[in-house]
Amino acid sequence: MKTVGIILLCLVGLFVLLLLMALVKTLLGGTKVSVYRPAAEDDRAHRYAEKLSAMVQHNTVASNEDRRTGSFLEFHKLLAQLFPLVHQHLEKTEIDGNLLYCWKGISGEKPIVLMSHQDVVPAEGEWLHGPFSGDIADGLVWGRGSADTKCSLMAIFQSIEELLAEGITPPQDVYIASSCTEEFGGDGAPKIVAELQRRGVKPYAVFDEGGAIIDEPVGGVKGLYAMVGVFEKGQGNLRFTARGRGGHSSAPPRKTPLVELSKFVCEVNKKDPFRREISRELKAMFALLSPYSPFAYRFLFGNLWLFGGLLKAVMPMVSSQAAAMLRTSVAFTMAQGSEACNVIPQSASVVANLRFIPHQKKDASIAILQKMAEKYGIETEIINGHDPSPVLDIHGEVWALTERVIAEVFPDLPAIPYVVTGGTDCRFFHAICDHCVRFSPVVYGKEQLSGMHGLNETISVNCLPGAVEFYKKLIQSI
């Protein structure tokens, strides 16, 4: 017993020593403040807002069932009116409503692709300003697509329009790629990739949406930060089906398809079956955010060597977004049973949408759920799925280029690597490009983040000049 006591005392002493080391490291690390704010509105910002407003007013809702190619062809006419020099000097290729422009540079050795999609999600509910009004009010452009992502599409076109007006030829070939199927994961981007492959084009770098300039990216970490997406999670859809004899609801058996499905769904939600892991990119994110954080976060983020396990446990409690960066996520989104209130179904099913993390990819994640489903006699059907994208090297030259351009255009704005939990067209370009950057150079506050795919989508007028300058500087920096 005396030996056990000595061992416990040593362990406690070691833990206290480690805590003291972490405390000293935190205190010596110093603090920083993110002070960047977009400049106040001016004539330039309002000119850009007027162009974006016109683009928002053009309804480009599309779905897998309704491609509405004609609507996009009309939208292309608007682009030609808004950006005449682009359409005079760049080679334009239209592929079933999808757009590819080529601006020949001094060299074709390191071509870049600038991306932003044309299509938007449906606009439902009661809006303060009509979803396709394009109203400019309260320092905002209102309407569906203003933030996702006609703002960056406008900025890409406008940046090239201004460079052409200045008589500038880019040092490398520049391509604009804009699909009309991004919101439903359609075949627009693959068609553009196939066209580039046909031409033998291997981009040096691709720049698409995914990250942005985010206000308070982690609760309590105040200020604006350039959250640059370095990879996006994979995704897939599974259908789980339970079967039984069915029958009249007046004499229900204990086991019915819906009961077994309910048990399965509850177990998945309660158990959280996927492994949490702090990736190298997440460690870099926390390390870079640490100096800007309140003391408790600095103590935690800056000492992952000691608190990594604690952070893995705590992050899912902070937010669902934080949890999604650590593990594969699963959301049950659709259900089907009997078509009558008094009939027990012979079969019932639920559909789950999964987002796969690199350390537990598609096959491994699906196998976990399939094994859980088998306990309840439930069948698993894989509807579709793909693995996470390759990861952008945060020590490589394309990351360094992106970080440098951000620093030049947005003084004192920290650039932070970020895990994209949603899906973008950019994933298709990994077939031809080794360096894909997911970053829109616009400011998203809480209102903008909640408005995307929701009510009252907006973008701030005063962030538009910075977005245009970002693309101008990027084009000239390759």
Q: What are 457-469's pLDDT values in tens digits?
A: 999 999 999 999 9
Within-domain flag for 67:
yes
Task: Kindly state whether residues 271 and 347 are assigned to the same domain.
Answer: yes
Range of the domain at 396: 43-232+389-477
Which secondary structure element, helix H or strand E, spans residue 159, and what is its range? helix 150-165
Tell me whether residue 24 is in a domain: no
The token duo for 159 is 């940046």
* Bond into 3 cis (ω within 30): no
Q: Domain ends where: 386, 414, 436?
A: 386
Say how many domains are in the chain: 2
Residue 19 forms part of a structural domain: no
Segment 433-451 mean pLDDT: 95
User: What's the rounded Cα separation, in Å, for the pair 468 and 155?
Assistant: 5
The pLDDT value given to residue 201: 98
Residue 417's CB is within 10 A of a number of other CB atoms, namely 24
79-134 per-position pLDDT tens digit = 999 999 999 999 999 999 999 999 999 999 999 999 999 999 999 999 999 999 99
- Rounded to 5°, the CA angle 355-359-360 comes to 55
Round to whole Å and give the CA distance between 100 and 434.
Answer: 20
Q: At what angle do helices 150-165 and 69-82 cross, to 10 degrees?
A: 40
The Cα–Cα gap between 360 and 383 comes to 19
Where does 376-463 have alpha helices with state H? Answer: 397-409, 446-451
Query: Same domain for 372 and 399?
Result: no
400 and 300 in a single domain? The answer is no
C-alpha span between 347 and 257 (Å, rounded): 6
Q: Please check whether residue 89 lies inside any domain of the structure.
A: yes
Check whether 12 has a pLDDT greater than 70. no
Q: Which of 363, 386, 409 is the last residue of a domain?
A: 386
- 245 and 222 fall within a common domain: no
CATH number at residue 75: 3.40.630.10
pLDDT tens per residue across span 26-48: 777 789 999 999 988 789 999 99
* pLDDT at residue 1, rounded to an integer: 60
pLDDT band per the 50, 70, 90 thresholds, residue 234: very high
Whether 415 and 333 map to the same domain: the answer is no
- Output phi, psi for 111, to 5 deg: -65, 145
pLDDT classification of 372: cutoffs 50, 70, 90: very high
**Amino acid identity for residue 270 in this structure:** K
d(CA 20, CA 98): 58
pLDDT at 4 over 70: no
Same domain, 472 and 328: no
Contact criterion met (CB below 8 Å) for 468 and 159 = yes
Q: Are residues 243 and 222 in the same domain?
A: no
pLDDT at 194: 98
Q: What is the pLDDT of residue 140?
A: 97
Average confidence score pLDDT of the chain: 93
CB atoms closer than 10 angstroms to residue 64: 11
pLDDT over 90 at 317, yes or no: no
If pLDDT is split at 50, 70 and 90, which confidence band does 66 have?
Answer: low
Residue 285 in domain: yes
Least reliable range by pLDDT among 8-17, 190-199, 285-294, 302-311: 8-17
3-state secondary structure 83-101: CHHHHHHCEEEEECCEEEE
What residues are paired with 140 via a beta bridge?
A: 137, 460
pLDDT at 133: 97
Helix (H) / strand (E) element for 331: namely: strand 329-336
Position 20 in a domain: no
Is the pTM higher than 0.85? The answer reads yes
d(CA 19, CA 23): 6
* Same domain? 421 vs 438: yes
Residue that is last in its domain, among 368, 386, 404: 386
Checking if the pLDDT of 64 tops 80, the result is: no
**Do the domain assignments include residue 27?**
no
Are 430 and 469 within one domain?
Answer: yes
Helix (H) or strand (E) holding 124: none
Do residue 100 and residue 224 come from a single domain? yes
Please give the backbone phi and psi of residue 258, each rounded to the nearest 5 degrees, phi first: -70, -35
Domain presence at residue 71: yes
- End-to-end CA distance of the chain, in Å? 69
Are 382 and 408 within one domain?
A: no
Q: Are residues 66 and 151 in the same domain?
A: yes
Q: Which of 140, 181, 166, 159 is nearest to 444 (CA)?
A: 140
Q: Which pLDDT does position 308 carry in this prediction?
A: 87
Picking from 235, 189, 138, 153, the residue whose alpha carbon sits closest to that of residue 445 is 138
Cβ neighbours for 146, distance < 8 A, ≥ 6 positions apart: 52, 56, 134, 140, 457, 458, 459
**195: number of Cβ within 10 Å:** 16
Q: Which CATH number goes with the domain that contains 344?
A: 3.30.70.360
Q: Say yes or no to pLDDT of 349 above 80.
A: yes
Contact 190, 177 (CB under 8 A): no
